[in-house]
Amino acid sequence: MADELQLEQAQGHEARPGPAANKLLLALSCILLALGNCGGPQLMRLYFLHGGNRLWFTSWLETGGWPVILIPLTLRYLHNRRGGDQAENKTKFFTMNPRLFVGSALIGLLTGLDDYLYAFGVARLPLSTLSLVIASHLAFTAFFAFLLVKQKFTSYSINAVVLLVVGSAVLGLNTASDRPPGVSENAYLAGFFMTVAAAALYGLVLPAVELMYRKARQVVTYGLVVEVQLVMCFFATLLCTVGMLINKDFQAIPREAKEYGLGEMKYYTVVVWNAILWQCFFLGAIGVIFCASSLLSGVIIAVLLPFTEILAVIIFREKFQAEKGVALVLSLWGFVSYFYGEMKYSKKKKRKVVQNSLGSV
């Protein structure tokens, strides 16, 4: 019986920090997710607006900051060694088993493909239209979460999904006039469908990560989650590197930097911060999945889309129609609906636990 319990605890979400630490970690993950989700698209759009046109390179930047993850992993390793912890899994630099490594690598390759599809859309669509299309990932996330991890839906979570999708759909009204200059109708349509594909693929990736945690067959700690992120980003970057080699992006980057509209120094500044902010996005998303669920990660990404719209209006002076204000209200309403439902569910679960404990006495 003890062995069965130990195996059950090793299979995923049961191995979480305490309630207070979990809330703190969730809050930190939400902040990272917000920084990456709002800042990443702006810098990517800035790159394309002023002369950048290397799709595989911009895809590479979305996960190319993965070496940064080695810093917390090194600190964890040194801390465990200094503490004299003799447990085998605590004295290894990498603790993931082969099963988890293979799963992370496969999801990483999917992420690399998704990076390319997303970059293709950013190059050809204004952020207002892009946000509309990307918002559909929430519906894909809900579908795949139900299919892969048997995500349970309440009336509040269903209401949140509907409000967020409707709010984002409102953004699509009258956006045809926002088509970027120099982009043909065929290129615009290609960007639209590539962005739909990116939304669908990322809607699959989030529940796939959650499923991988549950099937890991080892205790899933936040340190292990960071290892997973490292492997995913490495293989995503590897795929994009192959694309860059085929497309000869490495030879073109110095020339592109010299011809960049904002200057060579600002070109490299945009590139570096692009990589940093996208790494914040992925670390935040995977942290939210660990602390809560893939559906919540999808909800947070969706609720941040109107803020991306507002930043686009401020930075790139895109038009802010009344539809965007309505979308913001609907998105905030959906966000509140989701968390209110989660609070009610949590209280109900606590009452049930108390009643069961009293009944057993």
Segment 61-116, tens digit of pLDDT: 999 989 988 888 888 888 777 765 555 555 688 888 999 999 999 999 999 999 99
Domain membership of residue 257 (yes or no) is yes
Contact by Cβ (8 Å): 237, 64: yes
Q: What is the CA radius of gyration of the chain?
A: 21
Residue 228: CA count within 13 A, CB half-sphere: 32
Rounded percentage of the chain residues whose pLDDT exceeds 70: 81
Where in the sequence is the domain holding 276, given as residue range(s)?
1-7+40-78+95-355
Q: How many domains does the chain have?
A: 1
pLDDT at 93: 83
Determine the 3-state secondary structure of 80 from DSSP: helix
pLDDT at 173: 58
Contact by Cβ (8 Å): 296, 51: no
Task: Report in angstroms the alpha-carbon separations of 161 from 135, 140, 166, 325.
Answer: 10, 11, 8, 18
Contact by Cβ (8 Å): 200, 27: no
Among the listed residues 292, 222, 247, the one whose alpha carbon sits nearest the alpha carbon of residue 15: 222
| Tens digits of residue pLDDT in 330-361 | 777 877 777 777 677 667 767 776 666 666 55
Q: Confidence class of residue 184 from pLDDT cuts 50, 70 and 90?
A: confident
| Tens digits of residue pLDDT in 25-41 | 888 888 999 999 889 98
Residue type at 25 in one-letter notation: L
Q: How far is CA 180 from the centre of its chain?
A: 26
State the Cα–Cα distance between residues 145 and 156, nearest whole angstrom.
Answer: 16
Domain membership of residue 16 (yes or no) is no
pLDDT at 2: 35
Task: Output the six-digit token pair for 341.
Answer: 């439902």
| Tens digits of residue pLDDT in 133-175 | 787 777 787 788 888 877 777 787 788 778 777 766 665 555 5
State the Cα–Cα distance between residues 232 and 236, nearest whole angstrom.
Answer: 6
Burial track 267-288 (b if 16+ CB lie within 10 A, e otherwise):
beebbebbbbbbbbbbbbbbbb
Residue type at 175 in one-letter notation: T
Range with the lowest mean pLDDT among 8-17, 24-33, 76-85, 211-220? 8-17
Domain membership of residue 84 (yes or no) is no
Domain membership of residue 288 (yes or no) is yes
Domain membership of residue 18 (yes or no) is no
Task: Output the six-digit token pair for 72.
Answer: 């917390």
Average pLDDT estimate for 242-249: 95
